[in-house]
Amino acid sequence: MNQTNIALLGFGVVGSGVYRILTENHDDLNHREVLDLHVTRILIRDAANVRDFALAPQELFTADYGEILNDDSISIVVECMGGVEPARSFILQALRAGKSVVSSNKEVISKHWHEFDAEAKARDAGLYYEATVGGGIPILRTIMDSMQANNITRVMGIINGTTNYILTKMSEEGLDFDEVLHEAQSLGYAETDSTADVEGYDATYKLSILASLAFHAHLPVSVIPREGITKLSRRDFAIARQLGYEIKLLAIGKKHGSQIEVHVHPTMLPKTHPLAAVRGVFNAIFLTGHAANDIMLYGRGAGSMPTASAVVSDIICAVHRAGRHRYITFANAEELSTAVQLLENYESRFCARLLVEDAPGVLASVAGVLAKHNVSLRSVLQPGESDTTDARLTLLTHNAAAQSVRAALAEIAGLSCVRAVESLLHVEE
């Protein structure tokens, strides 16, 4: 049996997990997969990011990428550094050297996929990135290797664990966003700089990869409208609870013929929806295929061993498929695929919360503006706050064009009887 030599780029949370699995499970993998996998080099550029120096022999560590690139015995480079540079350059250089690349880095894959894909095809090298979406959940290979019979029409995912942890706490403990964020940061569940998570960037990187594979068309990050969770308040959760909903940060993709909609935002989901039951740091992805109908995959979307599980699965694929790697077959240019149209004015149900003057005719004025924009109301709630001259109106719409709803609310915000449009949330059923 030939030995496969592997280089790890980065030895933080993910890299150290990959090393552990490849060494601790070496004999099992050898027996089950008939493979002899060895990490022979570990690139570390910043010792501060190294999780556990004692885990691997010191002679494996190097700060010089040239030692990996020029080592012909290394056939697989595993990039788990995160960020765009130098990860992008290192991946391109590895592919140009004819090495297969496995990456867990959703940002670099989603932003530079077209470059990597072209280089991999030109060099007959493998390019694998299962760990970029949903951590330990085998979602990408499920789409590519198990759902081929389907025209996938919908993907809806909770694909960011940090925000799901925060939203679960806000929902279950009635806390505000800032309180939960600080607690999550002090417990190490959220990064000190949590922008990528709480503003929804991380979810857009993942949705770009997920929806492109599901709908077989490149949907770049740049076309995905994004809204994070920072504006949510305990009042949003109180209303959602009263109406029988949870609030989740959802990454949504839907295909209607050649039209595709993709968006990331906080969404009200009925408590009975399977995604509403996904609590804490867990992730889940709900897919609808024309043949399989609905399926949902659930698991840990981050963490050392779950993410390493996906990376090692990719390494095994890369070795088994050497010389006959499979590549995506849709045109993978930097821009949106020309084969599809982006549906920007998609339809959805919405829930708007207004602070208004408590006076006769206010509801009629608000309803009049909605009617003018062709937005139909499903229900209206006005919880009693009779000791003030203001009232809070919660409006639930039927399916309506997103741009019409936003235009209507902009006009409503300008009515003299309206103090503020306090929130606008998508609603999925």
Residues annotated as catalytic (active site), given as ranges: 206
The reply to whether 10 sits near ligand HSE by the rule CB under 6 A is no
Closer residue to ligand HSE (CB): 202 or 236 = 202
Stretch that binds ligand HSE, among 79-87, 157-165, 334-342, 418-426 (CB under 6 A): 157-165
CA distances from 85 to 64, 79, 104, 117 (A): 16, 12, 14, 17
Determine contact, residues 75/323, Cβ cutoff 8 Å.
no
The reply to whether 204 sits near ligand HSE by the rule CB under 6 A is no
Min CB(49)–ligand HSE separation in Å: 15
φ and ψ of 270, to 5 deg: -60, 145
Closer residue to ligand HSE (CB): 8 or 356 = 8
Closer residue to ligand HSE (CB): 160 or 288 = 160
Q: Kindly tell me which residue out of 76, 301, 351, 412 binds ligand HSE, with binding defined by CB under 6 A.
A: 301
CA nearest neighbour of 358 among 380, 383, 391: 391
Q: Kindly tell me which residue out of 42, 81, 302, 315 binds ligand HSE, with binding defined by CB under 6 A.
A: 302
Q: Say which residues have a Cβ less than 8 Å from residue 227's Cβ, sequence separation at least 6.
A: 200, 264, 265, 266
Pair of tokens at residue 301: 């979307």
Cis, bond preceding 86 (omega within 30 deg of 0): yes
Determine contact, residues 147/215, Cβ cutoff 8 Å.
no
Closer residue to ligand HSE (CB): 9 or 302 = 302
The reply to whether 162 sits near ligand HSE by the rule CB under 6 A is yes
The reply to whether 161 sits near ligand HSE by the rule CB under 6 A is yes
Closer residue to ligand HSE (CB): 249 or 318 = 249
Beta bridge partners of 259: 256, 341
The reply to whether 202 sits near ligand HSE by the rule CB under 6 A is yes
Min CB(288)–ligand HSE separation in Å: 23
Q: Kindly tell me which residue out of 160, 204, 313, 397 binds ligand HSE, with binding defined by CB under 6 A.
A: 160
Instruction: Give me the 89-128 binding string for ligand HSE, x by CB under 6 A, dash otherwise.
Output: ----------------------------------------
Q: Kindly tell me which residue out of 79, 119, 197, 246 binds ligand HSE, with binding defined by CB under 6 A.
A: 197
Q: For the sheet containing 74-79, what is the strand order?
A: 61-62, 36-43, 3-9, 74-79, 100-103, 127-128
SS3 172: helix
The reply to whether 136 sits near ligand HSE by the rule CB under 6 A is no
Determine contact, residues 412/404, Cβ cutoff 8 Å.
no
What H or E segment, with its residue span, contains residue 111? helix 106-123
How many residues bind ligand HSE (CB under 6 A)? The answer is 8
Q: Supply angle C-alpha 269, 273, 274, rounded to 5.
A: 125
Q: Please report, as ranges, the residues that interact with ligand HSE according to CB under 6 A.
A: 135, 160-162, 197, 202, 301-302
